[in-house]
Chains A and B, each alone.
Chain A
Amino acid sequence: MSLLSPRRAHAVAEAPAVRFLLLGLALAAVALFLLLPLGVVFAEAFARGWAAFAEGVADPDARAAIRLTLLVAAISVSVNLVFGVAAAWAVTKFDFPGKSVLVTLIDLPFSVSPVIAGLIYVLLFGAHGLIGPWLIAHGVEVIFAVPGIVLATMFVTLPFVARELIPTMEMLGRGDEEAARTLGASGWQIFFRVTLPNVKWAALYGVLLCNARAMGEFGAVSVVSGHLRGLTNTMPLHIEILYNEYNFVAAFAVASLLALMALVTLALKSGLEALGGK
């Protein structure tokens, strides 16, 4: 290294102009496409002062939307965590026919447009859908109700935890679990004392990404929600309605809150990375 580094430093130093140009372009892009819009959201939210902002956020419909978003995120993140751990466990610790098909299927929600995901649930559970009429006859509303929103969110966020865990668990191999088994540990003991601690950072990272997406999902939820104010509107849907009604301050007030949640998630993620990297 000591031999190499002066030469490498020299090679880089040869083109400071290029370096500054690239750096400048990158920073400009970040400022223009990321920071500026984010700043505008907050600026608009507070354009008419704190009172207007508070009014927009405290509106009963807005509060219902916030509650629903948090509920949907909480349900889909927990289900996703269980599914992701189970799927990653199955894929990495066992060999079975159809394994590669399962791995491909896990990625499906990433490649399918969220709108299509929403439509699938309408076709299945809608009033004229495959099993919708039977469910409605038995008093279970899925479409234009909370269950549909949860299902649609779960569909689009399905890959997050599994995608984080599979490579981590593949890298770790089966050695630790085998060692635990020869030492007399039961399946649960192996899972909770060996496997889970080994993958906890990857799992938390997946959960945070999943949470960010669950709170922000628009397309799939929009199809199944029915936009019933105070009932089936999540935060993104509520923001859209306010915006379409030219109620900009309220729209941006709720939007800034959603952006804040995303920023908190991002900060947590960076914190985790720093911790996990130690």
Chain B
Amino acid sequence: MRIEIENAVKTFERGERPALDGLSMTVADGELVALLGPSGSGKTTLLRAIAGLEGLESGAIRFDGEDVAGLDARDRNVGFVFQHYALFRTMTVEENVGFGLSVRPRATRPPKAEIAARARELLRLVHLEGYERRYPAQLSGGQRQRVALARALAIDPGVLLLDEPFGALDAQVRKELRRWLRELHDRTGHTTLFVTHDQEEALELADRVAVINAGKLEQIAPPAELYAHPATPFVCEFLGAVNRLDTPEGIVYVRAHEIDLTPPGTPHALAATLVAVRAAGPRVHVELELSSARRIEAELSAEAFAATGYAVGSALSARIRRKHTF
């Protein structure tokens, strides 16, 4: 299902900054899109507005060209996975997954046995066979997450919306589930939007990443393009460690890993002194002080840094391989 958002505006409190401030974007059928932004940027509000859990002040949301403003959340056929899963604690895993089918009006409700069979099939899909009779309280975070996903998929939704799907999980489970979600998406082909504030997660998982800031869309592009050609200073600064330099040609943004350490006096390079070294596993972060007393950060592999032979106090040059201007 194709989703178009046009000039969406939503304000929660009168006189406050709007949570959505004229945001427009389109998600193609079958696409996996990440909504990336700092907390309070409006990305969750946008997700809730698509689901019908929040109304818009103005603007439109269209599913396959059809305005859904008049449709309540229950009629939008949207699969929503909540940040804290919101599993029904008084129901078993199987009842949770079958809930969406069991509340259908009598005319379209499948028989009980069919609902149970469908629930078991979905639990197999999310690798939770054997957990049908458990209660949510008896599951781990990652398992609950997958039950929530199976429950959302059970209603055969037109679009799948996930709010910070990996936010409450530890790093290991997070990585695993991330890969698994990508595979699941490739298999089922649901149009999917997920909210995240983790740039790595967004870049690794999504077909396209929508960077949202202060209720507005900054840029929507495939991960590689977003990284290579950021459209705004915000996008550039939000993705990775970036140095902001005041130069005669104006403000220039330079990524930490796009700075080379070269011998002092290198032409077209900035004279600098190495003031600090932080080793973070295979990568080394180097702090340099320029002649203007401004400090910048460079990032390179541990091997490359060892090969330079520099240490704290060394005089050197910082050669900028690539810069972004706006």
Q: Is the CB of A198 within 8 A of B53?
A: no
Residues of B within 8 A of A175 (CB): 82, 84, 86
**A182/B73 contact (C-beta < 8 A), A175-B82, A176-B86, A194-B88 known:** yes
Please tell me if the beta carbons of A179 and B80 are within 8 angstroms of each other in the complex. yes
B186 vs chain A, min Cβ distance (A): 24
Least Cβ distance of A203 to chain B in Å?
Answer: 13
Chain B residues contacting A186 (CB-CB under 8 Å) are: 74, 103
Residues in chain B near residue A247, CB distance under 8 A:
none
- CB contacts (< 8 Å) of B53 on chain A: these are 178, 181-182
The tally of residues in B whose CB lies under 8 Å from a CB in A reads 28
Partner of A189, one of B80, B84, B103: B103
The answer to the question of B271 belonging to the interface, with a C-beta cut-off of 8 Å to chain A, is: no
Q: Which listed residue, B51, B88, B89, B104, touches A182 by the CB 8 Å rule?
A: B51
Say yes or no: is A193 at the interface (Cβ < 8 Å to chain B). Answer: yes
Q: Is A184 an interface residue (CB 8 A)?
A: yes
B214 at the interface (CB under 8 A from A): no
Bound CA–CA A246/B77 (angstroms): 73
Contact A181 B73 (CB under 8 A): yes
Asked if B78 CB lies within 8 Å of chain A CBs, one says yes
Known contacts A198-B89, A198-B90, A180 near B99 by CB under 8 Å: yes
Interface string of B244-258 (1 = CB under 8 A from A): 000000000000000
Please state if B86 and A183 are interface contacts (CB–CB under 8 Å).
Answer: no
Quick check: B100 and A184 within 8 Å, CB to CB?
A: yes
**A198→B87 CA distance, assembly (Å):** 11
Q: Kindly provide the distance from the CB of A193 to the nearest chain B CB, expressed in whole angstroms.
A: 7
Provide the residues of chain A in CB contact with B152, threshold 8 Å: 182-183
B190 within 8 A of A: no
Q: A172's closest neighbor in chain B, by CB? A: B89
**Do A180 and B90 have beta carbons less than 8 Å apart?**
no
**B residues less than 8 Å from A183 (CB atoms):** 74, 99-100, 103, 151-152, 154-155
Chain B 76-101: CB-based contact to A (< 8 A → 1; otherwise 0): 11111010101111110000000110
Q: Does A197 lie at the interface of the complex (its beta carbon under 8 Å from any beta carbon of B)? A: yes
CA distance A145 to B240 in the complex (A): 78
Number of interface residues of A (CB under 8 A): 16
Interface centre among A176, A179, A181, A182 (most CB of B within 10 A): A182
Give Cα A194–Cα B88 distance, bound, in whole angstroms: 7
**From A185, which residue of chain B is reached at the shortest CB distance?**
B103
Whether the pair B73, A178 counts as a contact (CB closer than 8 A) is yes
User: A185-B74, A185-B103 given as contacts; is B82 within 8 A of A179 (CB)?
Assistant: yes
Within 8 A of B (CB), among A103-143: none
**Minimum C-beta distance from B221 to chain A (A):** 29
Taken together as a complex, chains A and B put the C-alpha atoms of A197 and B154 apart, in Å, by 22
A186 to B77, CA, bound (A): 13
Contact A178 B90 (CB under 8 A): no
For B103, give its contact among A176, A178, A184, A197 (CB under 8 Å). Answer: A184
Are B80 and A182 within 8 A (Cβ)?
yes
CB-CB under 8 A from B82, the residues of chain A are 175, 178-179
Give min CB distance, A162 to chain B, whole Å. Answer: 21
- The complex places the Cα of A17 from the Cα of B52 at a distance, in Å, of 64
Q: How far is the CB of A113 from chain B (nearest CB, A)?
A: 40
A189-213: CB near B (< 8 Å → 1, else 0) gives: 1000110011000000000000000
Q: In the bound complex, do residue B155 and residue A184 qualify as a contact, i.e. CB atoms below 8 Å apart? A: yes
> Most chain-B CB neighbours within 10 Å: which of A176, A181, A186, A194?
A181
Whether B89 pairs with A181 at a CB distance below 8 angstroms is no
CA separation between A186 and B102, bound complex, in Å? 12
Using CB atoms and an 8 Å cutoff, list the residues of chain B in contact with chain A: 51-53, 72-80, 82, 84, 86-91, 99-100, 103-104, 151-152, 154-155
Interface residues of A, Cβ cutoff 8 Å to B = 175-176, 178-186, 189, 193-194, 197-198
Q: Identify the 9 closest CB pairs spanning chains A and B, nearest first.
A: A175-B86, A183-B100, A197-B90, A179-B86, A185-B103, A182-B80, A181-B73, A189-B103, A184-B74
Can you list 23 contacts pairing A with B, beta carbon distance less than 8 Å?
Answer: A175-B84, A176-B86, A178-B53, A178-B80, A179-B87, A180-B103, A181-B53, A181-B72, A182-B73, A182-B76, A182-B152, A183-B100, A183-B152, A184-B100, A184-B104, A184-B155, A186-B74, A189-B103, A193-B88, A193-B99, A193-B103, A198-B88, A198-B89
| 19 additional A-B residue pairs with CB within 8 Å, beyond A182-B73, A183-B99, A185-B103 | A176-B88, A178-B53, A178-B80, A178-B86, A179-B82, A179-B87, A181-B73, A182-B52, A182-B74, A182-B76, A182-B79, A183-B100, A183-B155, A184-B74, A184-B155, A193-B88, A194-B88, A197-B88, A198-B90
